[in-house]
Amino acid sequence: MDSIRVHKSMYELIRRTCTELPADILKAMNHAHHDELPGSIAQETLGIILESASLSHEKALPLCQDTGALLAIIQSRPGKGLFIVEEAIVEAVKGLTREGILRQNCVDPLTERNTGDNTGAHVPQVHFEPAGGPVRVSVMLKGGGSENMSTQYSLPSALIAAGRDLDGVRRCILDSVYQAQGQGCSPGILGVCIGGDRASGYLLAKRQLFRHLEDVNPVPVLASMEETILQEANGLGLGPMGLGGRTTLLGCKIGTAGRHPASYFVTVSYSCWATRRYCVELDGKGGIRKWI
């Protein structure tokens, strides 16, 4: 792989992620705008959001001032190329921060100093995943407000009378939407992991957010639950930004992971309407072959 080409590709991938709402989410937001009561606060709010998203695309400027924390997943055969991609991601992050496309979002928790360039201990977060086929790089910029609304339940939970079964899982997911109110910037998208451990649950829940909204879960019972949660959560009446209305969620994506017999975790990764994620496939030299 040619490092200059890889650098250009990673720069373009992160720049686009920060400034352009993915097409599936834009479509869902347009539907939501259409579905809200004419003249309502909900419709006005969605109208301003759509206008803002269109401006950010046009001007190539951040969709949201919270340009989030970067999560990157590189899927590739093991080899030297991985390090070239990782280095290109870090350099692109620094460059885009200097240009005012990414906000300075990394604070050292001991000194309370902002590092100023979006790098620090374990930041940005880059994961390698061995895989065959061409190199794929997925990037997500997730805002702090929505990350703060993400949560994990350990079943059974007496608080919401949730047992260790799918009815209990459903209670957890609905409760998480209620708890978030408008604070995660609704209408939101949920990534959910049933099972796993404390750590894998959060990562797998977040990875569900890479699925496009129109993607139907291949597991029928999960597909049914995704649809049920979407309808029921929208009946809570929280609406855009929690100011009331019909649209509280744009989607719910659920995956599973094997669990220890003693543990039954339900992890919900809450993402705002401005869910920013893209995935690219690279050619042999490191250029972008296609957007996925």
Partner 1 sequence: MDLKRITSPLSPDVTRELSIGDMVSLSGRIVTGRDQVHKYLASGGIPPIDLQGLVIYHCGPVVIEEDGQWRITAAGPTTSMREEPYEADIIERFRPGAIMGKGGMGEKTRAAFKAHGAIYLHAIGGAAQYLAGRITRVEAVYLQEFGQPESLWVLSVQDLPALVTMDSQGESLHRDIQERSLERLHALFERSFTKNQAT
Q: Which residues bind partner 1 (CB under 8 A)?
A: 39, 41, 44-45, 48-49, 51-53, 55-56, 59, 61-67, 98-105, 107, 112-114, 116, 143-145, 148, 160-161, 165-167, 169-171, 174-175, 178, 181-183, 185, 221, 224-225, 228, 232, 235-239, 241-244, 272-274
Q: Give the largest Cα separation in the chain, rounded.
A: 57
Report which DSSP code applies to 14.
H
Tell me how far apart the alpha carbons of residues 167 and 39 are, in angstroms, rounded to a whole number.
37
Cis peptide before 124 (omega within 30 of 0): yes
**Residue 61 three-state SS:** coil
The CB-of-34 to partner 1 minimum distance in angstroms stands at 18
Tell me how far apart the alpha carbons of residues 165 and 209 are, in angstroms, rounded to a whole number.
23
Is the CB of 56 or the CB of 138 nearer to partner 1?
56
The CB-of-167 to partner 1 minimum distance in angstroms stands at 5
The CB-of-291 to partner 1 minimum distance in angstroms stands at 22
Is the CB of 137 or the CB of 172 nearer to partner 1?
172
Tell me how far apart the alpha carbons of residues 269 and 172 are, in angstroms, rounded to a whole number.
12
Q: Give me Rg for the CA atoms of the chain.
A: 19
Is the CB of 2 or the CB of 167 nearer to partner 1?
167
Nearest residue to 15 (alpha-carbon basis) of 67, 80, 75: 67
The CB-of-261 to partner 1 minimum distance in angstroms stands at 21
Nearest residue to 190 (alpha-carbon basis) of 71, 247, 69, 272: 272
Is the CB of 137 or the CB of 229 nearer to partner 1?
229
The CB-of-276 to partner 1 minimum distance in angstroms stands at 10
The CB-of-157 to partner 1 minimum distance in angstroms stands at 12
Is the CB of 48 or the CB of 216 nearer to partner 1?
48
Is the CB of 112 or the CB of 214 nearer to partner 1?
112
Residue 45 near residue 33 (C-beta atoms within 8 A): no
